[in-house]
Amino acid sequence: MKNWFESLAPRERQLVLGASIVLVIGLFMQLVWGPLNEAEQNARQKVNNQQQLLTWMNEKTAEYQQMKRQDRKAVNGSLSQIVSSAARSSGISLSRMQPQGDSLNVQLDEIEFNKLVRWMADLTQNKGLTIEAIDVHAAEQSGVVRVRRLQVKK
């Protein structure tokens, strides 16, 4: 190859050298620079997508927390007021209510089990209360229970 290159005229040598340089630069651009540039653009796009996702999640988190605060504010009054008004609206008569620290013990003589479950769901889901303990016993009638103790907390 060296002999062939030296046998060329000086102008031809310059032309081959120039073409070789252009070929090396072209190969470098095609094989090295192009993939690096594409990978960098893909990485920027991924970062942009992740930033958009983070922004969206922060907005939704703020909305959720605001809704949660509004739900808590919607239920005003003392614990006994909330429980008794929920019982009245559900058609339940309370036998006894006794405050115990920051919770309230409720006693019901006889109630349909399904009605009790719906009322407890209303207390927890709509009124924001927590049921800490319950002591239920079957009554003589089928589907009816006695609640000796239902401990509710705000």
pLDDT (tens digit, 9 = 90+) per residue, 74-88?
556 788 888 998 899
Residue 91, pLDDT > 60, answer yes
Average predicted confidence (pLDDT) for the chain: 89
Q: How far is CA 144 from the centre of its chain?
A: 39
Quick: pLDDT tens for 99-120. 988 899 999 988 999 999 999 9
Quick: pLDDT tens for 133-147. 999 999 888 989 999
Please report which confidence band the pLDDT of residue 23 belongs to, taking 50, 70 and 90 as the band edges. Answer: very high
Could you give the CA distance from residue 95 to residue 111 in angstroms, rounded to a whole number? 11
What are the φ and ψ backbone dihedral angles of 92, each rounded to 5 degrees?
-110, 135
Quick: pLDDT tens for 32-60. 999 999 999 999 999 999 999 999 999 99
Residues of the chain above pLDDT 90, percent: 60
Q: In Å, how far are 10, 42, 58, 110, 132 from 78, measured between CA atoms?
A: 102, 57, 33, 25, 17
Write out the H or E segment, with its range, that includes residue 41.
helix 34-74
Global pTM value: 0.53
Is 90:115 a contact under the CB 8 Å cutoff? yes
- pLDDT reported for residue 78: 84
Please report which confidence band the pLDDT of residue 26 belongs to, taking 50, 70 and 90 as the band edges. Answer: very high
- pLDDT reported for residue 6: 86
45: CB partners within 8 A, 6+ apart? none
